[in-house]
Amino acid sequence: MSIFRRGRGGPARVTVREAAARTGHGGTADSSADAVLLDVRELFEWQAGHAPRAVHLPLSALAAGAGLPAHAQARPLIVICRSGSRSQRAAELLAARGAAVVDVIGGMRDWTKAGLPAVDAHGGNGIVA
């Protein structure tokens, strides 16, 4: 069953482990790692620490009508923020635009607590701001 199913309350939610597996951050070669990890935090948060290969598009820009970068269009999206609140809102906006989307429960806080990688703007070890 696909994780990109809609529940009664909107887009589905996934754990950081499910998100990592579907975006290629799980540490194993997974043929289902076809989704884009979309980070919707603001620039200073992104620069402090984000998942490698994640795509950055702040919720503020998304809400203002900004589109996805070309390489993220027409692909499943897994949306992440700091704790999971903004990503839920972003997932709702993207679902309304027709995207296959879920958001990550616990956000980057849970991502780093689970030992998943985070890098800063210079490629060093990232932190969650």
Three-state secondary structure call for residue 79: strand
CATH class of 6-113: alpha beta
CA atoms within 13 A on the CB side of 2: 13
- DSSP E strands, 4-68: 6-7, 10-11, 13-14, 36-39, 55-56
Question: Residue 8: is its pLDDT beyond 90?
Answer: no
Question: Residue 6: is its pLDDT beyond 70?
Answer: no
How do the domains of the chain map onto residue ranges? Answer: 6-113
Contact 54, 126 (CB under 8 A): no
Q: What confidence score (pLDDT) does residue 65 get?
A: 96
Q: d(Cα 95, Cα 113) in Å, to the nearest integer?
A: 28
CA atoms within 13 A on the CB side of 69: 12
What residues are labeled active site?
A: 81
